[in-house]
């Protein structure tokens, strides 16, 4: 037993060395928690309703790390995955409104998931908006040697053989799925939706030519397009993306009302004092102006947001209504 | 030769003092995490990310990779010592590894696992370096019908895993498949069997079932025996090092396991896990003494461990060549790359060759370090088993409970584990085996998803499974296997024939 | 009629019940068709198969079994209660009382499962394991585990 103890303590020493900064900082913060009353006087928990890894988690960590430097307070990332973000969002909706529990919310938690599944919170009323930190436009992609060069090619093919053009998605209710539904309804065509359970299998099936197209989020497809593994057909949004100046927008191709994009925003529980949300929003706005943050967001295909609360307060309800209508019209339901 | 030039660049990067240090730290930390039941590399990597931003990207990735396979090593250690498989692929290791430990051969089992993994890791690294692009196209060849066929084959293999009654093994597979049906249907987004509990919408976590059924169930059963009748571990520990005969038995198994692992590891999702299950089934079928499997056969440790580790290496291929993550750990690594300003994806190989080849070479360095690190530890681990059971079992319980909680910081998982503890005890009591259940549970949802996707994409044409060559071959293999299992007399005669010939 | 294997008799019944429960539950979901299976297709079919396999185990228990009737044997109620109870206790108390209080209690509780239980050993074990776990999980790995009671 003695040998075991000494071994573990030596391992522990190594860990301690490695985590010197993190460890000491966190213990330090724990003891100084009561020292001051000025917000933030203790570490802030930032709930990410996804497992570690993936765009949402990564953005949360990036923003959290930068904000923590400005707030001079630790921000702990708390991954609460599950139920299409409902579990994590519920945690924040029910947390004390003191500004110490925040949510990396967005497309799923504040618009589509509560429409598809039974949520224990109201996606608008139970949250205090802090600010949006990015949007990710939709990019219609296909495999490199596919016959589809333009949106017109896709629509023509779908009109000629209804239901035979297949688009993949990372699951029911994902932005990829919603894009497909919106596009087929606006173009008046019938395409087959092939859902996958998250992950990357749909991309492999596209590259392998088993799927025709994917309405992908730019966060996923930007590296693949740059590496020449998939070919972009069109992008959503008001203007072309700086990374791909040769790729037309959906609007240019005749679908001005096509607008589905991933969005990422910071939320506090409802009734959080205004001075706290203002403080957080100010910090978020500062972070979103940092050149390295802008560069990193753009690097993964995210268009940086402004971080202003009123903008988010207007945007989120409009998104919710948009998808409520789409889900009703397309008769998508989970029952 | 391009390959040698590339490896030269790689080793130049991997063998700098700083990178050796980070690889070492990663391996140490990974091993530590791995031996803590339930704690996976994901929680650790996520926690370490902030401290990594200050590192060179190459160093950070080398360290992350070190944590990843260090944790796998550690996971096998607990599977062998205390019957706690920390991840799907070490479930098989637990079958014979734990039995070896109970017979006082824990040292041999651990050494076999370490050496087999090192061999597999070396081959795996070479395969990644030499054949990454070729194996990438293998991943493209695999569509829904192929995945379904592969998993069907795996399930039939699961029945081979069992050493007892065939009907009972089948029942456990089906029960595992049913437990896997507790989830949200991929095609229609309907939550099934969730009773409006949001946690059940994503299904039960694998670790919860493995821990409940394997560890807790085993503990209850052990405690149920009276102290005089209970000998959980043989008091006398024999030889820490494998004997000449052990080497002779284990080596071919490790080689076959490595081959299987290299191939299957490339497939996203279930690759390394399927590799370890399949290699076990293969060994059991090839062995002249299949009855020893499940009772401490050394091949039953060497093959799945080698397969698992080879698969862990080649599972990097889709990430390296495409920037597509095949597991949560890879997703985290890609996230880390992005935050550090490196665009992951197919371009990394050309735009950042030192990082690309440095990472590949550090895989081998990491595997080497793990062997060096783990062989001396074996003596200490084995001593751990001499701790009186009244101290040992509460410790196992305590670490498992924390591990389960940290899976998703949710107490629901803890309650689930309690329920599966009862279930695990009952299966133990009634003479059912847990391994087929686990395999059914893991493969079930993927099988259903791929079957239904294959039918959706083929517009309901079931013939798609036999008209596609890869899928047809695998289904044929499954059929052959079923016949062999169903007619034990035939297989017995064949084995006798083999013996006679020699 | 005499039961030849009590263990198989009981487990056969259990499998039948579980299989039927899944199959009945699956009727809540759309069954789909052979061309396009729905969400209820698989759980229904698998439930039926499990019930059939359970039936095989059940009937075989009536026909063959070991000499002694393969009894289920004594249930280790104490071990079962303490092990399962302590896990449930830990799950319930961790978010409410925090790690520092619920963890050592859980260890003592679970130690009672053993027949060689003594307060001295259990308390000693609880202290050692709590300190170790604190150092590893909280100081070392800084995992998100509630430390102190929520009401403090």
A19 — pLDDT class (breaks 50, 70, 90): very low
Q: What is the pLDDT of residue A152?
A: 92
CA distance C36 to chain A (A): 13
Q: How many residues does chain C have?
A: 152
User: What is the complex's ipTM, to 2 decimals?
Assistant: 0.91
Rounded Cα distance, B472 and B499, in Å: 32
C-beta atoms of C133 and B399 within 8 A: yes
Q: Taking the domains of chain A in order of start, what are their residue ranges?
A: 44-135+261-330, 137-235
Local confidence pLDDT in tens for the 152 residues of chain C: 567 788 888 899 999 999 999 999 988 888 888 778 888 888 999 999 999 999 998 988 888 777 777 777 777 888 889 999 999 999 999 988 989 999 999 999 999 888 878 898 899 999 999 998 898 888 877 777 888 887 76
Residues of C in contact with A76 (CB under 8 A): 144
And the tokens for A188?
């008046």
Q: For residue C109, what pLDDT is reported? A: 92
Alpha-carbon distances of A263 from A90, A247, C13, rounded to whole Å? 19, 21, 52
Yes or no: say if A267 and A130 are a contact pair by the CB < 8 Å rule: yes
In the prediction, which pLDDT does B488 show?
A: 62
B261-306 tens-digit pLDDT: 998 888 776 777 888 888 888 888 888 888 888 888 899 899 999 9
**pLDDT class for A211, splitting at 50, 70, 90?**
very high
The per-residue DSSP string of chain C comes to ---S-HHHHHHHHHHHHHHHHHHHHHTTS--B-SSSB-TTHHHHHHHHHHHHHHHHHHHHHHH---TT--------HHHHHHHHHHHHHHHHHHHHH-HHHHHHHHHHHHHTTSTT--HHHHHHHHHHHHHHHIIIIIIIS------S-TT-
B131 is written with which tokens?
A: 């054949």
Interatomic CA distance for residues A154 and A267, integer angstroms: 38
B95-133 pLDDT, tens digit per residue, is 899 989 888 888 899 999 999 999 999 999 889 888 887
Quick one: what percent of chain A has pLDDT higher than 90?
21
- Which of the residue ranges A4-8, A145-149, B113-117 would you say has the lowest mean pLDDT? A4-8
pLDDT of B288 reads 83
How far is residue B160 CA from its own chain's centroid? 18
More confident residue, B418 or A295: B418
Mean predicted confidence (pLDDT) in B393-404: 89
Pairing between strand A231-235 and A127-142?
A: antiparallel
Domain residue extents for chain C: 6-61, 77-140
Asked if the C-beta of C150 comes within 8 angstroms of chain B's C-beta atoms, the answer is: no
Instruction: Please indicate whether the domains covering A44-135+261-330 and A137-235 agree at the CATH topology level.
Output: yes
Whether residue A40 has a cis bond before it, omega within 30° of 0: yes
Q: What is the pLDDT of residues A28-80, one digit of tens each?
A: 444 444 444 678 878 888 998 887 767 788 888 889 888 988 888 888 888 88
Contacts of A78 in chain B (CB under 8 A): 409
CB atoms inside a 10 Å sphere around CB C21: 15
- Write down the architecture of domain A137-235 according to CATH: 3-Layer(aba) Sandwich (3.40)
pLDDT at A37: 62
> Are C11 and B409 inside 8 Å of each other by CB?
no
The domain of B83 spans 2-498
Q: Does A8 touch chain C (CB under 8 A)?
A: yes
- Contact check, Cβ <8 Å, C142/A8: no
Number of structural domains chain B divides into: 1
Q: Pick the more confident residue, B238 or C136.
A: C136
Sign of CA dihedral B174, B180, B185, B186: negative
Name the one residue in this structure whose structure tokens are 């971080």.
Answer: A307
pLDDT of amino acid A12: 47
- B368: which residues sit within 8 A by CB, 6+ positions away? B118
C103 chain-B contacts, CB cut-off 8 A: 398, 402
CB proximity A19 to C under 8 Å: yes
pLDDT of residue B384: 81
Run of H or E including A102: strand A101-106
| Strand duo A127-142 + A101-106: pairing | unpaired
User: Look-up: residue for tokens 């009671």?
Assistant: C149
Residue B501 has pLDDT above 70, yes or no: no
Alpha helix (H) residue ranges in A166-307: 175-187, 201-207, 218-226, 274-287, 291-299
Cα dihedral B284, B289, B290, B293 sign? negative
Cα distance between residue B261 and residue B280, in whole Å:
11
Chains A and B form CB pairs within 8 A to the count of 192
Q: What is the pLDDT of residue B29?
A: 87
Give pLDDT, residue B301: 92
* pLDDT exceeds 50 at position B60: yes
Distance in angstroms (rounded) separating the CA atoms of residues A241 and A238 = 9
Using a CB-CB distance cutoff of 8 angstroms, which residues of chain A are in contact with residue B202? Answer: 81-83
Q: Name chain B contacts of C122, Cβ cutoff 8 Å.
A: 394
Choose between B328 and B124: higher pLDDT.
Answer: B124
**pLDDT 10s digits, A181-201:** 999 988 999 999 998 887 778
**Reported confidence tier of residue B237, pLDDT bands at 50, 70, 90:** low
Question: What is the structure's pLDDT at A11?
Answer: 47
- For residue range A156-182, what is the model confidence (pLDDT) as tens digits? 999 999 988 999 998 888 888 889 999
CA distances (Å), origin A217, targets A222, A234, B159, C108: 9, 12, 42, 52
Q: Is C127 on the interface with A (CB under 8 A)?
A: no
Q: How far is it, in rounded angstroms, from Cα A23 to Cα B93?
A: 34
pLDDT at A292 over 90: no
Confidence of residue B481 (pLDDT cuts 50, 70, 90): confident
How long is chain A?
335
Structural fold of domain A44-135+261-330: D-Maltodextrin-Binding Protein; domain 2 (3.40.190)
- pLDDT, mean of residues A110-119: 85
Instruction: Enumerate the residues of chain A whose CB falls inside 8 A of the CB of residue C135.
Output: 12
CA distance A323 to A129: 19
The pairing of beta strand A75-79 with beta strand A44-48: parallel
Q: Which of A305, A298, A304 is nearest to A243 (CA)?
A: A298
C116 interfacial to chain B (CB closer than 8 Å): yes
CB contact under 8 A, C144 and A76: yes
């Amino acid at each position: 037993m003695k040998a075991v103890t000494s071994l573990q303590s030596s391992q522990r020493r190594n860990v301690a060395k490695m985590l010197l900064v993190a460890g000491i900082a966190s213990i330090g913060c724990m003891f100084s928690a009561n020292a001051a009353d000025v917000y933030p006087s203790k570490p802030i928990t930032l709930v990410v309703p996804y497992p570690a890894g993936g765009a949402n988690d990564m953005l949360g960590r990036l923003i959290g790390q930068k904000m923590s430097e400005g707030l001079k307070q630790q921000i702990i990332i708390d991954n609460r995955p599950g139920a299409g973000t409902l579990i994590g969002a519920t945690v924040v909706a029910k947390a004390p409104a003191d500004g110490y529990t925040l949510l990396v919310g967005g497309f799923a938690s504040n618009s589509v998931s509560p429409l598809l599944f039974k949520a224990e919170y109201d996606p608008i009323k139970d949250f205090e908006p802090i600010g949006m930190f990015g949007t990710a436009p939709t990019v219609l992609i296909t495999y490199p040697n596919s016959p589809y060069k333009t949106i017109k090619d896709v629509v023509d093919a779908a009109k000629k053989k209804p239901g035979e053009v297949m688009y993949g998605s990372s699951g029911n209710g994902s932005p990829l799925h919603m894009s497909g539904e919106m596009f087929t309804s606006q173009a008046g065509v019938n395409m087959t939706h092939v859902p996958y359970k998250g992950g990357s299998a749909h991309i492999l099936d596209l590259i392998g030519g088993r799927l025709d197209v994917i309405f992908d989020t730019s966060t996923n497809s930007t590296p693949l397009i740059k590496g020449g593994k998939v070919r972009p057909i069109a992008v959503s949004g008001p203007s072309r993306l700086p990374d791909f100046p040769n790729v037309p927008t959906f609007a240019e191709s005749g679908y001005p009302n096509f607008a589905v994009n991933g969005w990422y925003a910071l939320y506090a529980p409802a009734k959080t004092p205004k001075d706290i949300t203002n403080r957080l929003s100010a910090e978020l706005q500062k972070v979103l102006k940092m050149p390295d943050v802008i560069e990193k967001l753009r690097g993964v295909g995210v268009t940086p947001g402004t971080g202003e609360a009123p903008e988010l307060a207007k945007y989120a309800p409009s998104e919710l209504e948009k998808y409520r209508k789409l889900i009703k019209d397309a008769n998508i339901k989970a029952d | 030769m391009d390959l040698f030039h590339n490896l030269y660049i790689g080793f130049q990067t991997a063998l700098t003092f700083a990178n050796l240090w980070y690889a070492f730290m990663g391996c140490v930390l990974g091993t530590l995490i791995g031996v803590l039941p339930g704690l996976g590399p994901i929680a650790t990597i996520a926690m370490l990310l902030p401290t990594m931003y200050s590192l060179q990207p190459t160093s950070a990735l080398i360290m992350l990779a070190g944590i990843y396979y260090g944790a796998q090593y550690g996971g096998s250690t607990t599977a062998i010592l205390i019957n706690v498989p920390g991840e799907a692929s070490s479930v098989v290791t637990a079958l014979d590894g734990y039995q070896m430990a109970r017979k006082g051969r824990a040292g041999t089992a651990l050494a076999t696992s370490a050496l087999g993994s090192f061999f597999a890791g070396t081959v795996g690294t070479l395969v990644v370096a030499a054949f990454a692009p070729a194996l990438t196209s293998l991943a493209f060849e695999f569509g829904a019908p192929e995945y379904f066929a592969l998993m069907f084959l795996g399930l039939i293999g699961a029945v081979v895993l069992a050493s007892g009654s065939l009907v009972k093994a089948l029942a456990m597979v089906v029960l595992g498949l049913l437990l896997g049906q507790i989830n949200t249907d991929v095609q229609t987004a309907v939550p099934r069997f969730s009773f409006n509990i949001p946690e059940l919408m994503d299904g039960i976590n694998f670790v919860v079932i493995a821990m409940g059924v394997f560890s807790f169930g085993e503990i209850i059963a052990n405690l149920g025996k009276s102290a005089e009748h209970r000998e959980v571990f043989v008091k006398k520990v024999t030889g820490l090092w494998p004997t000449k005969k052990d080497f002779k038995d284990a080596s071919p198994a490790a080689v076959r396991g490595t081959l299987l692992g290299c191939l299957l590891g490339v497939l996203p999702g279930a690759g390394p896990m399927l590799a370890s299950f399949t290699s076990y089934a293969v060994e059991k079928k090839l062995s002249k003494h299949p009855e020893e499997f499940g009772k401490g056969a050394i091949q039953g440790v060497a093959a799945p461990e080698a397969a698992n580790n080879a698969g862990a290496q080649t599972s990097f291929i889709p990430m390296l060549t495409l920037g597509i993550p095949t597991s949560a750990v890879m997703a985290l690594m890609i996230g880390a790359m992005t935050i550090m300003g490196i665009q992951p994806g197919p371009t990394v190989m050309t735009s950042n060759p030192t990082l690309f080849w440095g990472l590949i070479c550090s895989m081998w360095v990491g595997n080497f370090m793990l062997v060096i690190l783990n062989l001396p530890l074996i003596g200490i681990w084995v001593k751990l088993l001499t701790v009186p059971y009244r101290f040992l079992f509460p410790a196992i319980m305590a670490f498992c409970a924390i591990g389960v909680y940290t899976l998703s910081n949710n107490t629901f998982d803890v309650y689930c584990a309690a329920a599966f503890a009862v279930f695990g005890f009952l299966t133990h009591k009634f003479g059912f085996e847990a391994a087929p259940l686990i395999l059914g549970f893991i493969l079930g949802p993927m099988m259903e998803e791929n079957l239904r996707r294959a039918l959706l994409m083929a517009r309901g044409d079931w013939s798609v499974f036999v008209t596609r060559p890869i899928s047809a071959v695998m289904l044929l293999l499954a059929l052959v296997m079923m016949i062999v299992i169903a007619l034990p007399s035939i297989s017995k005669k064949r084995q006798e024939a083999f013996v006679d010939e020699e | 009629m005499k039961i030849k294997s009590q263990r198989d008799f009981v487990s056969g019944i259990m499998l039948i019940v579980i299989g039927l429960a899944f199959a009945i539950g699956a009727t809540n979901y759309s069954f789909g068709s052979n061309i396009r299976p729905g969400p209820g297709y698989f759980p229904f079919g698998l439930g039926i198969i499990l019930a059939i396999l359970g039936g095989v185990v059940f009937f075989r228990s009536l026909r063959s079994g070991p000499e002694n009737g393969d009894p289920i044997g004594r249930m280790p109620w104490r071990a079962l209660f303490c092990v399962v109870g302590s896990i449930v206790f830990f799950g319930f108390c961790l978010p409410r009382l925090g790690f520092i209080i619920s963890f050592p209690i859980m260890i003592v509780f679970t130690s009672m499962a053993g027949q060689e239980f003594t307060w001295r050993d259990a308390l000693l074990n609880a202290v050692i394991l709590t300190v170790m776990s604190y150092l590893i999980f909280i100081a070392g790995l800084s995992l998100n585990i509630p430390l102190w009671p929520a009401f403090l």
